[in-house]
Structure 1
Amino acid sequence: MIQQLARRLHASSPRMLQHDGPEAAVLVALTKSNDPQVVLTRRTKHLSSHGGEVAFPGGKKDFEDFDLLTTALREAHEEVGLPPEQVEVLGTLSQSMSKHGLRVTPYVGLIDPDTDLTPNPAELDEIFTVPLSFFLEDKRHRTDAFQFRGKTHYVPAYEYQGNIIWGLTACILVELLNIGLDAKIPVKPRPEHQ
């Protein structure tokens, strides 16, 4: 599964968006295993942005960051204690716009299954992993349609062990599976991708 993912990500052409505003990056960290696990976090409820939500490690680009990959790796180190040198980067997925007007670039990387991850208590309540096979089955909890900035967004939502995986995080996962594993999970394209 990992070899197919790596090969297809390398051959893909992710969508890049024109945007002059702030940027962010996330790390889609997958374990090197027969049934790869994706690393997800649950943000603390007191945060002003995305409090209590499930997300990938990531955040806004700092002035000091060399590029967006640096941002993704720095944020993963700050949030879950993942040293950048322990990530084997496979490639990127399509850029998307967050509800806060950030252009978000997802980077996909591999980590060893026994990597010790520790949540930063100032930002996270929990780190957990979900097998990619769970998402391949597409047992979605629901698909939401909502209006945002005059456009309709269709967002899948998955429930795994009491955690709701929704929003941009779920959209990134579906793209990863459709591009990397030819999963053919039906989802309407995000407005910025049309």
Structure 2
Amino acid sequence: LKILLLYYAFYALLCSQKSFVCYGNSRHPCYKIAYFQDLSRRVGFQEARQACEIDGGALLSLQSEAEQKLIENMLQNLTKSGSLISDGDFWIGLWRSGEGQTTSSACPDLYKWTDGSISLFRNWYTDEPSCGSLIPNLIYVVIPTIPLLLLILVAFGTCCFQMLHKSKIRTKTSPDQSTLWISKNPRKDSSMEV
């Protein structure tokens, strides 16, 4: 299945930059949200990271629960304001360093912020962090897409079931069976003559 997702590059910038959302309090940094409605412009983790660095910023690193709430509120306000930003996936600056499997107790220590900041705050989902063979860069999972995926799977499964149910097993018949449409030796019937 090819799933189309809207990606957001999400990063903190200096207050002197343009196109950002800034809160007046000096305790809060400025945030810039780069939203790509055009799917052909969506970017991966490394591209988002490079775009932030070109603008003099870094992918978002969450240092506290209060900062996470601030970001959540900002995104909810932008969604309500009619800015065409909807629920989706956000690239943040948390990435896993190191490779291979590790013990579950050492796993959280493998995750680092791309801006080099150190934070003990982690708001993991219950089945995270993942220290399997895949390196997840995207931590914020979109729950609203699950019903769409289920609908696609049900429709696909129903279609396949109907196609398989309607097809019949075909067997080869011998040419001397009387059920054939055309006989080797046609009958002469006087009523059929013209």
The structure with more helix, counted as a fraction of residues: 2
Higher relative contact order (Cα pairs below 8 Å, separated by 6+ residues): 1
Structure (1 or 2) with the greater strand fraction: 1
For the criterion TM > 0.5, the same-fold answer is no
For the aligned pair, the TM-score class normalised by the smaller chain equals: under 0.3
What TM-score does the superposition give when structure 2 sets the normalisation length? 0.27
What's the TM-score once normalised by structure 1's chain length?
0.27
